[in-house]
Amino acid sequence: MINKNRRDLAIATGSAITMAAVGLPARAATPGRKLGYAIVGLGVYGLGVIIPQFKNCQHSKLVALVSGDPVKAKRVAAEYGVPERSIYNYQNFDSIKDNPDIDIVYVCLPVSMHAEYTIRAAAAGKHVMCEKPMAVSSAECEAMIAACKKAGKKLMIGYRCHFEAYNLEAVRLARSGAIGKLRYFRSEHGFTAGNPNAWRLKKALSGGGSLMDIGIYALNAARYMTGEEPIAVYAKETTDRNDPRFREVEDMIEFQLEFPSGVIGSCMSMYSANQNHVLLVGDKGRIDMEPGTRYDGNKLWVGQDRSNPVTPPPGPGATQWAGQLDHLSLCIINNKEPIVAGEEGLRDIRIIEAVYRSAREQKRIALV
């Protein structure tokens, strides 16, 4: 089971306190070199989002690339100052063990490849950041955790919202009693999927549809916003199988979460509509975020309606991604466990498996 108290302390208090809660300085100077990351996968996220963030990091730097496209890899390496000797492909990946510049491998690949490259990275003696969802099954998640523990290396899952200022402030407000006793949580996450041939619409590559992809934001938010672990789920799927996009994976799936305190969580994911919303309702008010988990432009209100917008204090990094990248570096430097370690990803996948089972069997599933 996850150490919920540690996770709650880390995410609930926000900004500088977030890092201090796990024994790490927030944006403080640490003696020695920046830790080196190898980015595995030069797709939309790895190349377009993560790599440009190293300029905002204080404790992390880009030192290596792993790609199946040598032309692209050389172009990116030249642009970001990565030496050609530190370009790898998927066949010679294991030789990263001989590169002392690489401390951390960041896996930005289709979900079906997460387990393999996490396990191989650990075997090569490297710490691992792995994108979410962690893997296609809880069994794979368990194998990833075991491999990193065996190698004595840290494993962190890329839950960027745990370092995002609006989410941190929403959690702080909820814990402070700003809306009284929490009674209800709601979140809808979705976007309109396009190309039927995209990897995320192929079950063998993605592990599932909208729930695995965008729905994990709603699920993880339900856990860190409430500070509780759900004890049961009930789910229903709505998918038009005549739509070529959804021949293999689900479109819409709604799921209800029951929490020990009596809080009810109502979540939905979808691939046929755009939505990004997080709502917490207490007996004295509400915390409303729309959008709540986007890359930018998030908004937050607290009170009875949307008449009281809130501007949060800065998060633990210059950006949520810089905060995330530096958090793992600082955990390694200070020998601390990440606030979103592999066990966090495992817990989400176990719940997702229960959601799929509930939708398939059309019954409430108790979580153990």
Q: Is there a contact between 333 and 325 (Cβ–Cβ < 8 Å)?
A: no
**DSSP 8-state class, residue 49:** I
pLDDT at 62 over 80: yes
What distance in Å separates the CA atoms of residue 99 and residue 287, rounded to the nearest whole number? 47
What distance in Å separates the CA atoms of residue 357 and residue 211, rounded to the nearest whole number? 13
**DSSP 8-state class, residue 86:** G
Using DSSP's 3-state secondary structure scheme, residue 73 falls into: helix
Q: What is the pLDDT of residue 14?
A: 37
Q: For residue range 151-208, list pLDDT tens digits in order.
A: 999 999 999 999 999 999 999 999 999 999 999 999 999 999 999 999 999 999 999 9
Give the list of residues 6+ apart from residue 63 with CB closer than 8 angstroms, or none: 36, 37, 38, 82, 86, 99, 101, 102
Q: What is the CA radius of gyration of the chain?
A: 20
Query: Is 331 exposed, middle or buried, given 0-12, 13-18 or 19+ CB atoms closer than 10 A?
Result: buried
pLDDT at 10 over 60: no
pLDDT at 22 over 90: no
Enumerate the active-site residues.
Answer: 132, 217
pLDDT at 7 over 90: no
Tell me which residue of 205, 264, 190, 253 sits closest to 230, measured CA to CA.
264
Q: What is the pLDDT of residue 32?
A: 75
Kind and range of the H or E run holding 6: helix 4-12
Q: What is the mean pLDDT of the chain?
A: 93
For the record, the structure tokens of 307 come out as: 């008449």
Single-letter code of the amino acid located at 261: S
Q: What is the pLDDT of residue 28?
A: 40
What distance in Å separates the CA atoms of residue 187 and residue 290, rounded to the nearest whole number? 10
Dihedral of the alpha carbons of 68, 54, 28, 321, in degrees to the nearest 10: -80
Q: For residue range 41-61, list pLDDT tens digits in order.
A: 999 999 999 999 999 999 999
How confident is the model over 336-359, as a mean pLDDT? 98
Q: For residue range 206-232, list pLDDT tens digits in order.
A: 999 999 999 999 999 999 999 999 999
CA distances from 58 to 158, 292, 321 (A): 18, 26, 12
Q: Which domains does the chain have, with CATH numbers?
A: 4-161+320-341 (3.40.50.720), 163-314+348-366 (3.30.360.10)
pLDDT at 88 over 90: yes
Sheet of 182-192: strands edge to edge? 300-303, 285-289, 272-282, 182-192, 264-270, 252-258, 232-238, 365-366
What distance in Å separates the CA atoms of residue 356 and residue 362, rounded to the nearest whole number? 10
How crowded is residue 197: how many other Cβ atoms within 10 Å of its Cβ?
Answer: 9
What distance in Å separates the CA atoms of residue 88 and residue 69, rounded to the nearest whole number? 10
Rounded to the nearest 5 degrees, what angle is found at the Cα of 365, between the Cα atoms of 364 and 368?
A: 150
Q: What is the pLDDT of residue 13?
A: 37
| Region of poorest pLDDT, from 5-14, 110-119, 191-200 | 5-14
pLDDT at 29 over 60: no
Q: Is there a contact between 12 and 175 (Cβ–Cβ < 8 Å)?
A: yes
**DSSP 8-state class, residue 95:** G
For the record, the structure tokens of 160 come out as: 């960027």
Three-state secondary structure of 235-296: EEEECCCCCHHHCCCCCEEEEEEECCCCCEEEEEEECEEEEEEEEEEECCEEEEECCCCCCC
Using DSSP's 3-state secondary structure scheme, residue 341 falls into: strand
Question: How would residue 33 be classed by pLDDT, with cut points 50, 70 and 90?
Answer: confident
Q: For residue range 273-331, list pLDDT tens digits in order.
A: 999 999 999 999 999 999 999 999 999 999 999 999 999 999 999 999 999 999 999 99
Sign of the Cα torsion 296, 302, 306, 311 reads negative
Question: How would residue 31 be classed by pLDDT, with cut points 50, 70 and 90?
Answer: low
